Each structure stands twice: as C-alpha cells, then as structure tokens.
Structure 1
Amino acid sequence: MAYDDILPRLARPSRYLGGEVGSITKDPAQVELSIALAFPDVYEVGMSHLGFAILYRILNERPWLAAERVYAPWGDLEAELLAAGEPLRSLETQRPLSQFDILGFTLQYELSYTNLLMMLDRGGVPRRRTERGEGHPLVVVGGPCAYNPEPLADFFDCALIGDGEEALVELCEAVRAARAAGESRSALLERLSSIEGVYVPGLFAVDYQDDGRLAAIRPLRAGYARVRRRFLADLDSAPFPTAPVVPTMNTVHDRVSVEIARGCTRGCRFCQAGYIYRPVRERSPERILEVVEQALTASGHEEVSLLSLSSGDYACIEPLLKNLMNRFAESRVAVSLPSLRVGSLTPELMEEIQKVRKTGFTLAPEAGSERLRQVINKGISAEDLVETTRIAFGLGWRVIKLYFMLGLPTETDADLDAIIELATRVKKSGKGSQGGADVNVSVSTFVPKAHTPFQWEAQIGIAETRRRQELLREGLRAKKLRMKWHAAEMSFLEGVFARGDRRLGNVIEKAVDLGCRFDGWNDCFDFARWQQAFAACGIEPSFYLRARDPEEVLPWDHIDCGIPKAFFLRECQAALAQVPTPDCRTGACSGCGICDFEELRLRLCDPRSLADLPSPPSAKAAPAEEQRCRLRLRLAKTGKGRFIGHLEFMSLFHRAVRRAGLPVRHTQGFHPHPRISFSEALPHGMESEAEIIDLDLAAPLSAEEAVSRLNASLPEGFRVREGALLHWRGAAPSASIESTVYRFALPKDAPVDLEDRIASFLGAARVSAQRLKKGRSVAVDLRPGVVDVWVEEGRLLLEMSQGSPLPVAAFLLERDEAQVRDLPACKIGVRLRPTPDGLS
C-alpha cells in the first residue's frame, strides 16, 4: 500500500484502505479510460451517498472503463501527505489523482467547496481549468449544487446538470472518442458541449454592472446559450446496484438504501430538490423487492432504507412496506422510511413503521404558524401534525423531533412564537402515553436557493439570525423543550455561495490558502479565515444575501432546470398572497412546464400491480427444538485488516456472518442482535494470527463448512485459520484465554543491554512508568499481567495475561508508545484454559 508508513499515525486509517466487499478493482493497463469519483467529504459521509454508489456500479459495468473512488482526506492525512510529499490516491488501485483521465466531483453542499480545491492540490492537479494542459485529468462536477455552479466555474472543466445515469456514460464515451481521434483539450470541450446536460464554463463570458450586479452571461459558441438539465425518463428501467460496496468502517448510514422514487410534486416553495428532481418517477414494487433481496444477500446489512424526497407519498407504500417487513421478519431485517411528511402518514402506515423501531420520529412542519405554512405551500395544518404525534406517542414512540426553519420570507416574531406554541402542543399530545413523551426541536436558517420561487428573496444576516435563535431558545427552554440550531455564520456562508457568481472563485481559493477545510463541520469551521479571504479579494459577502429584482440577470440564468423562470415568479407572487398551489399528483396540473406528457411525465406505480407481487413467506410451523452449539474460530487480521478498529471489525464480522448464512442465535428483546463473542481489542495497527471469536449457533454446522463460507464472505485482510465446535455452555473467549503472546520487530537501535533489561523486569515485583491518559501523565505499574518476556530471532516476544503490550514494549526498548506503534507487531497466539474440546 502506498500509505503504509502513514496509516499507523492516523486516527481513522480505515477511511483510506479500500478492498471492501463489493468494490471493483480493474487493471489500469486493461481499460481505455479511468475516472475517479471524488466525494469532497470523509469516507463515512461519502459512502452513505446513494448517487455515488449508482454511478460507481454503472460505470464499472463498461469493460473499457474503470471507475474508482476517492474521499476528502481528514486533516491528519493531509498533513502527512504534505510532509511526505505523497499525492492523494484512489482507494481501488492507489493511483494518484493526476493519473486519471477524469475526476468527477459530486457537489452536495456549498460548504464542501474548499475540500474540492484541497483534493485537487493534494492529488497533483492544477486548481484552475486554464492552468490544465493536455496531460491533466478532465475535472467534472455534478449534483444539486451544480444547478448554480458559478462560484466554482474557474476550477472545473465541465458540469453535468441533472440525472447522471445516462449522461455521465455519454461523457465518458465522448472522452474516449476524442482520445481515439487525437483531439486537443479545447476540441474535447467543444465535443462535450454538444451533450445535453453538459455545461462548459469556458464557453461563456460574464459581464458585470458598475453596482456589482450581472449585466449579461454571453455564450461564446453559437447555439449554446442555455444548458438544459438531463432527465432520466424511466426510473424503473434504470440500472441500480444490487451488490453494494460494503464499508469496512461504520458510516453515517450503514444500511441497504433503495431509491423507491425520484422527484416530488408537493411544491414547497423553499425546496430546491422538489423542483430540480421533477417529475416524480416511481420504481415498481416488483423491482424494489428484487433489489432489496439481492442487496441484503450481497451486503449482510440488517436494515433497509426506502429513499425518496417523500417516501410516504409512494403510491404503493403501505402494501410494499407490509410485504417487506413480513418477508424479512425472520431474518431480523429492519425497514426504515427516513423521509416522511405529515400528510402522507396514515394510521395504517404508522402501525407498520412502529413494528420495526421506535427510537425516533422526525416531522418537518417547517413553520410554526398556519399563515407562514401557506406562504411556503407546506400544505399541512397544526391539527394534522398534533393528531399524527398523538398517534405516534400512543403507538410507543418516546421521542419526536420537529424540524423548523427561521428567516422564511415574511416571517415575524409572531411566527417564531407559533413554533414554541406548536412544539408545546406536540409535547402535550403525548401526555399519558406509556413511558412518557419527549420533543426535540431542530431549527435551521432559511437559505434561498437557485431554481426555486424564493430565489429572489433576501436572506437574513448573522445578527438577525442570532436574535431569532435566542428568542426561540428562551421560549422553548421555558416550556422545557430542547433546541438544536445551525451556526449563523455557516448559514450565512451557505447563502453566499448558493446564489453566488464567478467572482467568488477568488475567495474560495484564498480561503483554501488560509487553511479552510471541512467548513460544514462545526469543529473545523473558521469564519475569521473566511472574513479574511473576502477582505483580501475586496468582496462584501452580504451583497449576495440581498433581495434580487425579478428583472435582474441571475448567475444561473443560463442553466435550464426544465421549469421556466415565469413559473417561479408566479409561485413567488402566490406565496406573498398566501395562495396555495395543489399537488399535481392528486390535483390539477400546476403548469410548471416540466412534463411533455409523453416521454417525460409523472410515472407512478400502479397499486393494482400489487396483486402480482410475490406473497411474503407464510408463517412456518413451530421450529423443532434448537440444537445449540458453540463455534469457536481463530481468525487472522493482517495487511489492511490491522487498521480496522475493534468496533468496526465487530460490525464487519457481523455482516460477513449474515452473508455466509450461518445459523447464529440472537438475543431477545426489541433490538435483537446476534450472539457473537469476541476477544479483547487489539492495539491500534497491530496484526493478529489469533483473534478468538465464538458464535452461538441454533443448528449444528460442520466447522469446516462454516470456515469455508466465512472466508468466502470476509474482505481482504481477514481470514479464518481454523474452527471447532464446542458445547454451547462453554466460557466466552474473554474468560477462556489464559494468556496472549505478542511479537514485536526489534528496531535497529534497540538497547544493547536488552537481555539485562528483560531479566531485571521479570525479577522485579513492581515496575513504575509514566503513561499518557486523556492528555495527562500518570504513574503506572507495568509488572502485573506480564507472564514472560524473551528475545527470539531478532524479535521481542511478550506473554501477557492482561493489559496492553505497548507500554511494556516501550519500556523495554526505551521508546515512547507512538514509536512502538510504528514497529511491525503481531498477536501470534493465545493459551487457552483447558477444555474438553477447542483450539490450542
């Protein structure tokens, strides 16, 4: 591995390993084109993004094309790369980013822009498109933020606007054809501009007025005045990954995610996603069942998430959910709907949901008053919300989270008071419910987005945001309600870039030079640096938060989302008049202009097709009495595996057991989990040939078959060496292990008197040393737990009955623990207490 010397010094090395189950590695010499799919945030965030996974699978289905992944390096890795002069590399082949033909960045959030530039820097790719030559990768961006790509226009070569399943493949084919024809970079960009949905910023010029507003966006190529978004007409026939990449670490969303629908017709006037993903296209329940079955088998996950902008609006949601839950109840797979609206929550649907889990329930009224909900076209009443929460509390939920926005157009303090009143009513709706009722209130600041009816509206500034937050905090605290909020400065910056223009590119570049990274993370965000960057570039950021005149040229006017500007203006006027726009799913067409009513139209699944759905398995007869036994395994954790932390390893192994189909028994209770016991955690970065794991089986299975099935399911770096069946009442690994033997490679400068030091150590009753614990140096006795120490073939061996070997090795070798961690080390064996059967 290219990062071998660096990984032991990182806090979370498992972010950078690759080699996961489901990942695809192709020989670069055997493909014509390579693309690095780049996510400008850490691995655990990027691996939870479904769009990224869809493109990874689609692209790799082409034998001539290799798609690999790269995620933003956290600060510790970036510092190590700089110090070592090493480039940022992909996960699959460890190639530097500069060696790829295409770098494809997904833009999900404005506060990730600095990470994009940082990744180009660390990957050895020039930041600005004008600085890239024939040998540099083509830098492509996509995602929701690409609907106003102008703040980043100086840094990418082209943007893909809209759905990427077909368009990105066409883009790669065009690059392949241009290369075969020997075309120059400029000729390639001309070729790409002919693909619908591809925006080439170098083919547009921007003029400004004296007051800073835009004067014109001028196309530099005839017939290329606007770039129309790309649409995927039929979601049901689109490719979808059924063998997902299974992460080696715990991610934000650790589950099988299935997109059941794309688009929304609710028409909330603040919601960009509700407009740019129109029209609604639903995936058939037959296809969803097929995807879920295959993805669970391939991944070993224990949860399925049904995704869309409003999962409860899916035409077949209740029978689909019931079918899924009945189908997977025996295998203890949970089904979740993370995106639910009050208007779509029927009592029958809530009954189904509560069978799965009742850990939390999130609803988004957005505004507290009926008047303001009419302004934003939310379409729900306070009575609907309170009745929904009353049912939820009655069904056993204990905590309900309410999501609101402050700073919405026309908002007054009375509307903020209404948030407090509504949250109080929700809490009271749970009065008398078993176990009590709790309500958490989450409040974000409204940010006007491009391609929405509110794209002309002003955003409140930092001082006013803080005043309104304080008003809510005090009012909710008085009602004994908790509140979470977004930092005012972060919302301010998001608003600047959401409606910004090309002049902000200089600011982003300056901020990166000043050290801005991971601006969406509270512990990384540094607003003072951003203020310094704006000042250095002579830009007043509040200029971008102002209200816009309807006749003003907007920075994104040349990006066509499929909905005409006139519709958005009518909706803005309707908002101020508090006139609702009905949902065209159930009412009259709203005239947004997105559909051609032939190819591009609403595509809803037919509830009548549910009669053709395969029935869930019928209830089986009572199982015969279990023939319990214990399977004890000795597992090796080597190579990449040594960088997987203990909790991550436990999750990884649980998924492997599910993929292998081993009949593991589960605990009882509301959240049953498999009965698998592990030995104590290894020191960070140490290899092992002797991880002892016990599985409590409900049915007998030969040890040989279990080992074979597990080894076929484990990722790179893990291998079961042997297995044995024990009586199920036997002691767990932690109680069975009498001692453990560790081996350390001796450094070249090992103490010359090492043998004497060992003899002195073993002969002492007490060995005092200093250790760092939570940043403080404390005195410890190293002697307890050490059974024996010796040197053999140039290696230091320690046998210990308890405790970590690191401080003992550090003491004997006269080094600190950090230096000892860098030494090749391995847990080579365990001594087990005598049992009738077992491993030795």
Structure 2
Amino acid sequence: MNDAIFNRIRKPSRYLGDELNSRPKDTGTVDLRVALAFPDVYEVGMSHIGFAILYRILNDLDWLAAERAYAPWPDMEAELRSAGDPLRSLESQRPLAAFDIIGFTLQYELSYTNLLNMLDLAGIPRRREQRDESHPLIVVGGPCAYNPEPLADFFDLAVIGDGEEAVVEVCALVRQGRKSGWDRQRLLRELAAVEGVYVPSLYQVDYHPDGTLRAVRPLDGAPERVRRRVLADLDSAPYPLRPIVPFMNTVHDRVAVEVARGCTRGCRFCQAGYIYRPVRERSAKTVASIVEQSLRHSGYDEVSLLSLSTGDYSQLEPLLKHLMDCHADEKVAISLPSLRVGSLSAELMDEIRKVRKTGFTLAPEAGTERLRDVINKGISEQDLLDGSRAAFALGWRLIKLYFMIGLPTETGDDRAAIVDLAARVKQTGKGSAGGADVNVSVSTFVPKPHTPFQWEAQIGLEETVRRQQELKEGLKKRKLRFKYHDPRMSLLEGIFARGDRRLGRLLEAAFELGCRFDGWGEHFRWDLWQQAMQQTGTDPDRYLRSRDEQEILPWDHIDCGLPKSFFLRERRRALEGAYTADCRQGACHGCGLCDFGQIRPRLSSSLPPTAGPVRTAATPATDSRCKVRLRLRKEGRVRFVSHLEFMTAFHRAVRRAKLPIGYSGGFHPHPKIAFPDALPTGIASDAEIIDLELAHPLPADEVRSRLNAELPPGLAILQAAEVAWQTPSPSASIVSASYRVELPAETPADLAERCAAFLAAERVDAERQTKNGRKTIDIRKDVLDLQLQAGQLRLTLAKGSPLPVLGHLLGIGPERARDLSIRKTAVSMRNGLDCFGK
C-alpha cells in the first residue's frame, strides 16, 4: 500500500500497524496463516477483549501466524477500490485472500454488510459455493454465531461457544488437512466432527408452504445438533499480558481484564446471560497479576474490570482495595462498567468514588416492579432509590438510567412509570453539592435466540416511534434528558437476530445497493434497506412476529447447553410474573448446563493481603524537581498519527519507562509534559522538542535510554539535556522551524523566480478551508527564508504549516503538497534556550 493514501483519509492511524505489542511474524516460516477479522472499524474492534485473547493464543503457536484486519471506513474503502488495492492485514500488509483462514467475530447483527464488504474488498467470492481450494476458509464466531443462519450462505464454518480451545483445534485440523492433501469437502467433514463447529453446507433446510421451518436435516454424518464449547477453567486460560497499544484512542482505551465469564441472574431478555453460563471467575490473585503486567507493558492509566455483572464478582471489594493500594501512586483509575443495583454495597461505592471519572449508570430496564419481575431483573424500586441517593451523596452529579420499551406484557402504565421513576431518582439528589442530574436512555426490546423470550413478538416501527414520543413528552415535562435508539436499526437487528437462511438474499442485495456500517447513524441507509426488501420480497413482519412454542426455530440445531424445555418453563414463569432467583445464592433451577464436575460455577479464591501500606504519590519539595528537554525524531508511518495521538503515545511510553514524572494537582492529575506546537500530519521531523518535569532528578542520558526502549517504531529521542527549572515550554521557546522538501519531478521550471517573487512580496494571499467555509489568509508573513539546493527546497517558518506555502509555490495546492517528502530539520530557540546547539 502506498503511504500517500494516508494523506487522503481521516484517521490514518486505523491502518498503520506497528503498534506496541503487536506480534508480526515471518509468514514464510509458519505452516498456517490466520487473519482475525472484525467487521467494524478499528477503534471498535480493538476494544473487544475476545479478539485480543484469540490473537495471543494463536500467536503463541510457533507454527501459526495470526494477524488482524478491520472494516475500512468509507473513505479508505473508496481509496482501495480506486487504486484496485485489496484489503490487507495490519501486521504484514498481506492481502486477506492469501491467508489460510479468515475468522470473523460477530458481535452485532448490523455489522453483517461489513463482513460481505471485507470479503469483496479482499477479492474473495462472497458465497461459499463460489469458493474453491484456492480461497481461505471463512470462519465466524461470537454471540451472533448462536443463530448463524442469516449468514449461512457466506461462511464455511462457525465456532459456537468459548473459542480458547476450539480455535486451536480447528487450526490444527486445517494444518493437518493441508499436509495430507485433503480437498475442501473432506476438510469440512473433518471439521464438523470437532465439538462446537457448525458447517452449514452439511445441513439441508426445508420449509412448510406457509414459510415456516419444517426441518433442518444433517447430511453426510454431521451431528443433529452442534453443542457449544465451554471453557471449564477460566483462571488457567491464557490471557494477553502485553495488550496491543493503538496509536489512536479506541472505544475502551484502557487495560481490560475479564474477571468473570457468565451470569446466573437469569434476566429473561439477556442472551449473553444464558449463552455464557456457567459463571467462571478468575481468581483475585490472577486478576491482580494480569493488571500489574498489563499496566507495565502498556502504559495505560486506567483498568476496567469486565464481566456481564462485575458487581457480582465474589472478591470485588478486596480486589478493588488491593488494586488501589498497589497502583495509587501510579495515578491509575479503576472502572467497573457493569454494576448491578443490588450489588452496590456502601463500601464498594466508596471505593468506586475514589476513582470514578464519569457518570454513574443504573439499568432498571423497566419502570414497574411488576414488569421487572416479568423480565426477572430482580431490582426493587427501593434498591434503585437507595443506590441513587448514595451515589449523589458521595459526589456523583449525573446518573444514567437504562430502560427498554416493547417488553412482553408491557402496558402504558409501565411506560408512565419510567417517567415517574426517573423523576424520583433525580429527587434523591436534591440538596447534593454540585447538583444532581439524570439522563434516561431507552432502547427497543429485541427478542434474541436462546432466551425465554425467543418466541415473543417485537414491536414494529410505527409502534416504536409512538412509544418513544410518549416517553419524550413525559420526560420533557419533568426536565429529564432523553436518548433513544434509532427504531429502524432496532427493527433491522430484530430481523437478523431471529432470521433464517433466506435472509442471505436480502443481505447481499442491501450490500450491493451500498449498505455499510449499518450500526453507525451517519452511514445507516434505511431507504436502501427498504429497496432491498422490495427486491427480495422480504416481509419484516415475518421475522418480528411471535413464534408458536411448537414451531421449529432457525437456531434449534445449535445447542447452547440449555434445553428448550428450560426456556419454555422460564417463559411461562415470566407470564405469571414469577421471579427466578440466582442459582448461585439459592437452589439449582435445573437449566441442564452444569454437570457439577467439569462444567460448574467456579468462584474466585481469596486475595492475599497487600504487602506494605498503601502507596500514595507525595508532592516533592520544589528544590528536588528537575526538567529535562528532549529532541525527538518522528519518521516512518508514525508520522501519520495526529498530534493528539502522538502526545498519548508519548505519555504511555513515559509510564512504561517508569520515569518519576511530576503531576498536576486536582481531581484529574495530568503528567507534566510540555509539547511543541502540532506538526502537520504526514511530515517527518528531527526536531520535536519536549519537556519533562520530573519529581526528582534523573540523568538526562538515562531518561533518553529508558524512553527509547519504550517508544514505538518511528519515534526516537536523539538528544536529552537538563534545563533550568524555570525554562519556558517548547511552544514558548521556539522562534522558528526549518524544513527540507524533496522536490517532485514535475517541479515548475521557474521555481527560483517564484521563490524570489514570494520573498519580495509584502503579502501573499491563499485560501484555506475551515469549519466555517473557505478563508483567505496571508501565507507570506511567517516565512523567514526560502532556498533552492540541488533538488531540495529549504524553508524556514516563524510558525504555522509549510503546506500552504509549498502548494502555492509549486502550483499544486496544500492537499497535494502533503504527498511531498517533507522533514522538519531544526528549530531555533530564544536566546540561551537552545541546549542542543546548532
């Protein structure tokens, strides 16, 4: 891929590769090449911990190379198609079509068109029957694979359930097949015998005349039902201890540690709560070790403890206190993204208060206790009000409440109760210091496979809009903020969540019409989806309707471990308004998953006490402080990261280097690092000046060597020197910057005359595109010198970017000037501040 492409797209750091802790291998020395593909944009995919777990497990195999690929944003897609360039992996820039396996993680139904687009951009036939021995095997996994039928025309096999062990077995079998010369059909038959592997070509689907399913028949010895894989022991499972550190900010920009998998609360709408059973916890000791190593190898300043319900983790309070004791002096914050109201003790909330930076989120899901009993949420109104009162009292100013509309048995009274309950939550903050606010977020209930509500109807588009408007008006009267999910997206999600193989035609038609990134509001094209439905004769109501309990469901041949009889029993209890207690605190409910041997709930062991007292960051005496000035080189692909991304990457390198950096005061302390003005994206530099304020003296050469050991490729400290404590910041010290430009072959013959005329002019106007339109600026006033030297242009500026000047002189405009080879070579400082010399 030509690097010039990065000058023409937004956020090029999505595509650069070379991130810290990525694991490129020589693909010529391995037996198998696997592309882990995420059908969404980079910053979403990089935040998915399952993806990172598989990346580590596969790359730990010396005979296999696993690389990553993400859905390109539309601007990058346009560039690839225009250049005829295929979609490539990040690590080796190898075309995806040259891999042996491409494994897609399916997290969300509205990413399906992106999957087809990635295949198309890779030059791989979309439909599996069009692929032959020369093409990679297309594998899918993740929660959406529990109903793989809407995508069955496009993938070769699905891995159902936990992937840690299954993916290794699949890869080993593919490796064996390659060595033994098996054809594609033989390989698929062998793979179908692996527990948890579903091969759709080995199943025949038949329909009744009314369009309902008649049968899903296995062929050629395939199992009647594909039982999901269950990882029995989470604590001993491999986990990434050197997380890949992106250049850009991702959705979850922190160390993420899965403390537990599975949930037994039994919320009847929650697919994850059933398909990830039983509960398996990592020991607190293991979690603490993962956190320590991940922080050391990443430089992050925040840790997120992940599970479906982190508040239910059996060792949460001692673990949280232990982490705070160990990492308080490192200014590390701990976030708990999934707290349940009933799990919030006073002690836990006090610990959260010390580190929580954002709003406090509670998810009652329904407005009345009657409806919460129907969905088995198990939260009383008093629990909710007590939790909100405590949060406001402890200093939170904002509480976010999550509800659903369209739940089974919902009435107008249930929706009116959402408004009343949100108002009462706000009232609990009356008199709190700093005020109290409540945001109400409402989504539309989407029935999911493998839940007690898989037979229920989903409300249609018009009814969803009507109920949203009803809530909007009610909440507005109470002066409460309201946010709701796009009802058209919810409808589409519902169609694919419970769809069958016939949806493959609809999906392909929508893709060919131009649908991409359907979960992103700015790219969602409902008009194109409507057109695709008309073209393919797809009736949305067929998929949103309620299902008869005797009806064969499209996913019945996928065994999630819980029998249909259990879901039917829970459905009937829901309609009776009967609550089913968490089996971890009470009797077994006979869901049928646990064998009470290998597969059973596993809780965490106790955490050993923290050695020594709590460590806190002391404020150093003024005379012990030290300032070190650095000159940094920035070149290679890292020159395409933005200035903010560069600053973040440098901050993390400082943390990894364990430099005694000073911090500002206040609730959100910041490291005392001063940067120069932003270098335009794409320009290399030998003279980025950065100041570090250290809490105590450290030799400048040691600072340099420590940082160079931690900086990503393309960044290097060239010089380091201690400067006086009162020395002004780089942006205040620099008076000019010099640039060297390699002139292109089509350089104007009269460039020397142009330069002379430019220097002789008092003012040179050029147009600049701003957020508010085009603006005329004087590009002459900041130019101090221009010199032509043997195919190079030397340019010295008092401030600003060289691009407008170069575009004007060469007659190519500032955007095309970005494609030139430009390097900042030096800076000049105010008198006495140039510690590096000339």
What is the TM-score when the length of structure 1 is the normalising length? Answer: 0.98
User: Aligned to 2:138, what secondary structure does the other structure show?
Assistant: strand
Does residue 668 of the first structure (1) align with residue 661 of the second (2)?
Answer: no
**Following the alignment from structure 1 to structure 2, what is the Cα–Cα distance between the partners of residues 228 and 48?**
28
**Following the alignment from structure 2 to structure 1, what is the Cα–Cα distance between the partners of residues 616 and 418?**
50
Q: Deviations over 1:116-175 (max 9, x none)?
A: 000001111111111111111010000000000000000000000000000000000000
Letter aligned with residue 12 of structure 1: K
Counterpart of 1:66 in structure 2 is 65
Letter aligned with residue 685 of structure 1: G
Does residue 195 of the first structure (1) align with residue 208 of the second (2)?
Answer: no
**Following the alignment from structure 2 to structure 1, what is the Cα–Cα distance between the partners of residues 620 and 701?**
24
Is residue 256–residue 295 contact of structure 1 (8 Å, CA) maintained in 2?
A: yes
- Equivalences for residues 310-321 of structure 1 within 5 A: 310-321=309-320
Counterpart of 1:457 in structure 2 is 456
Counterpart of 2:763 in structure 1 is 766
Q: How big is the shift at 1:834? A: 2.1
Q: Choose which of 813, 816, 832 in structure 1 pairs with 2:813.
A: 816
Counterpart of 1:517 in structure 2 is 516
**Following the alignment from structure 2 to structure 1, what is the Cα–Cα distance between the partners of residues 232 and 308?**
17
Does residue 355 of the first structure (1) align with residue 351 of the second (2)?
Answer: no
Letter aligned with residue 48 of structure 1: S
**Following the alignment from structure 1 to structure 2, what is the Cα–Cα distance between the partners of residues 720 and 816?**
33
Letter aligned with residue 707 of structure 1: R
Counterpart of 2:388 in structure 1 is 389
Does residue 284 of the first structure (1) align with residue 283 of the second (2)?
Answer: yes
Counterpart of 1:470 in structure 2 is 469
Q: Deviations over 1:712-763 (max 9, x none)?
A: 1011111111111111210100011010112222222222221122112112
User: Aligned to 2:329, what secondary structure does the other structure show?
Assistant: coil
Does residue 366 of the first structure (1) align with residue 394 of the second (2)?
Answer: no
Q: Which moved more, 1:559-568 or 1:750-759?
A: 750-759
Q: How big is the shift at 1:705? A: 1.3
Is residue 323–residue 615 contact of structure 1 (8 Å, CA) maintained in 2?
A: no
**Following the alignment from structure 2 to structure 1, what is the Cα–Cα distance between the partners of residues 145 and 409?**
28
Q: Deviations over 1:485-528 (max 9, x none)?
A: 11110000000000000000011111111110000000000011
Counterpart of 2:629 in structure 1 is 632
Q: Which moved more, 1:3-12 or 1:349-358?
A: 3-12
Is residue 286–residue 613 contact of structure 1 (8 Å, CA) maintained in 2?
A: no
**Following the alignment from structure 2 to structure 1, what is the Cα–Cα distance between the partners of residues 714 and 703?**
18
Does residue 443 of the first structure (1) align with residue 442 of the second (2)?
Answer: yes
Is residue 96–residue 124 contact of structure 1 (8 Å, CA) maintained in 2?
A: no
Q: Deviations over 1:534-593 (max 9, x none)?
A: 111111122100000000010000000000000000101100000010100101111111
Does residue 739 of the first structure (1) align with residue 736 of the second (2)?
Answer: yes
Q: How big is the shift at 1:699? A: 1.4
Q: How big is the shift at 1:359? A: 2.1
User: Aligned to 1:551, what secondary structure does the other structure show?
Assistant: coil
Q: Identity over the aligned pairs, expressed in percent?
A: 62
- Equivalences for residues 460-539 of structure 1 within 5 A: 460-539=459-538
Does residue 704 of the first structure (1) align with residue 707 of the second (2)?
Answer: no
Letter aligned with residue 182 of structure 1: G
Counterpart of 1:110 in structure 2 is 109
Structure 1 residues 215 and 778: alpha-carbon distance in aligned structure 2, compared to 1, 3 A threshold: same
Structure 1 residues 803 and 236: alpha-carbon distance in aligned structure 2, compared to 1, 3 A threshold: same
Q: How big is the shift at 1:619? A: 4.7
**Following the alignment from structure 2 to structure 1, what is the Cα–Cα distance between the partners of residues 803 and 237?**
53
Q: How big is the shift at 1:614? A: 4.0
Does residue 779 of the first structure (1) align with residue 776 of the second (2)?
Answer: yes
Is residue 726–residue 837 contact of structure 1 (8 Å, CA) maintained in 2?
A: no
**Following the alignment from structure 1 to structure 2, what is the Cα–Cα distance between the partners of residues 379 and 621?**
42
Structure 1's unaligned 5+ residue stretches are none
**Following the alignment from structure 1 to structure 2, what is the Cα–Cα distance between the partners of residues 625 and 68?**
49
**Following the alignment from structure 1 to structure 2, what is the Cα–Cα distance between the partners of residues 724 and 584?**
63
Q: How big is the shift at 1:810? A: 1.2
- Equivalences for residues 66-85 of structure 1 within 5 A: 66-85=65-84
Letter aligned with residue 471 of structure 1: E
Is residue 366–residue 403 contact of structure 2 (8 Å, CA) maintained in 1?
A: yes
Q: Which moved more, 1:197-206 or 1:790-799?
A: 790-799
User: Aligned to 2:4, what secondary structure does the other structure show?
Assistant: coil
**Following the alignment from structure 2 to structure 1, what is the Cα–Cα distance between the partners of residues 615 and 812?**
63
Counterpart of 2:173 in structure 1 is 174
Counterpart of 1:241 in structure 2 is 240
Does residue 686 of the first structure (1) align with residue 683 of the second (2)?
Answer: yes
Counterpart of 1:749 in structure 2 is 746
Q: How big is the shift at 1:358? A: 4.2
Counterpart of 2:301 in structure 1 is 302
Counterpart of 2:93 in structure 1 is 94
Q: How big is the shift at 1:771? A: 2.1
Does residue 49 of the first structure (1) align with residue 48 of the second (2)?
Answer: yes
Is residue 359–residue 398 contact of structure 1 (8 Å, CA) maintained in 2?
A: no
What is the TM-score when the length of structure 2 is the normalising length? Answer: 0.98
Is residue 329–residue 617 contact of structure 2 (8 Å, CA) maintained in 1?
A: no
User: Aligned to 1:440, what secondary structure does the other structure show?
Assistant: strand
Q: Which moved more, 1:612-621 or 1:170-179?
A: 612-621
**Following the alignment from structure 2 to structure 1, what is the Cα–Cα distance between the partners of residues 383 and 619?**
44
Counterpart of 1:730 in structure 2 is 727
User: Aligned to 2:355, what secondary structure does the other structure show?
Assistant: coil
Q: Choose which of 789, 794, 798 in structure 2 pairs with 1:792.
A: 789
Is residue 519–residue 526 contact of structure 1 (8 Å, CA) maintained in 2?
A: yes
Q: Deviations over 1:189-232 (max 9, x none)?
A: 01101110000000101001111111111111336100000000
Counterpart of 1:410 in structure 2 is 409
Letter aligned with residue 396 of structure 2: W
**Following the alignment from structure 1 to structure 2, what is the Cα–Cα distance between the partners of residues 538 and 836?**
74
**Following the alignment from structure 1 to structure 2, what is the Cα–Cα distance between the partners of residues 652 and 622?**
26
User: Aligned to 1:662, what secondary structure does the other structure show?
Assistant: coil
**Following the alignment from structure 2 to structure 1, what is the Cα–Cα distance between the partners of residues 238 and 395?**
39
Q: Deviations over 1:575-614 (max 9, x none)?
A: 00000101001011111111001110010124xx33x344
Letter aligned with residue 735 of structure 2: E
Structure 2's unaligned 5+ residue stretches are none
User: Aligned to 2:716, what secondary structure does the other structure show?
Assistant: strand
Is residue 282–residue 603 contact of structure 1 (8 Å, CA) maintained in 2?
A: yes
**Following the alignment from structure 1 to structure 2, what is the Cα–Cα distance between the partners of residues 442 and 777?**
39
- Equivalences for residues 524-603 of structure 1 within 5 A: 524-603=523-602
Q: Deviations over 1:681-705 (max 9, x none)?
A: 1112111111111111111111111
**Following the alignment from structure 1 to structure 2, what is the Cα–Cα distance between the partners of residues 208 and 45?**
38
**Following the alignment from structure 1 to structure 2, what is the Cα–Cα distance between the partners of residues 820 and 619?**
52
**Following the alignment from structure 2 to structure 1, what is the Cα–Cα distance between the partners of residues 257 and 229?**
22
User: Aligned to 1:355, what secondary structure does the other structure show?
Assistant: helix
Q: Choose which of 653, 658, 675 in structure 1 pairs with 2:650.
A: 653
Does residue 615 of the first structure (1) align with residue 614 of the second (2)?
Answer: no
Q: How big is the shift at 1:835? A: 2.0
Counterpart of 2:146 in structure 1 is 147
Structure 1 residues 620 and 25: alpha-carbon distance in aligned structure 2, compared to 1, 3 A threshold: closer
Counterpart of 2:37 in structure 1 is 38
**Following the alignment from structure 1 to structure 2, what is the Cα–Cα distance between the partners of residues 372 and 407?**
11
Q: How big is the shift at 1:636? A: 1.0
**Following the alignment from structure 1 to structure 2, what is the Cα–Cα distance between the partners of residues 802 and 234?**
59
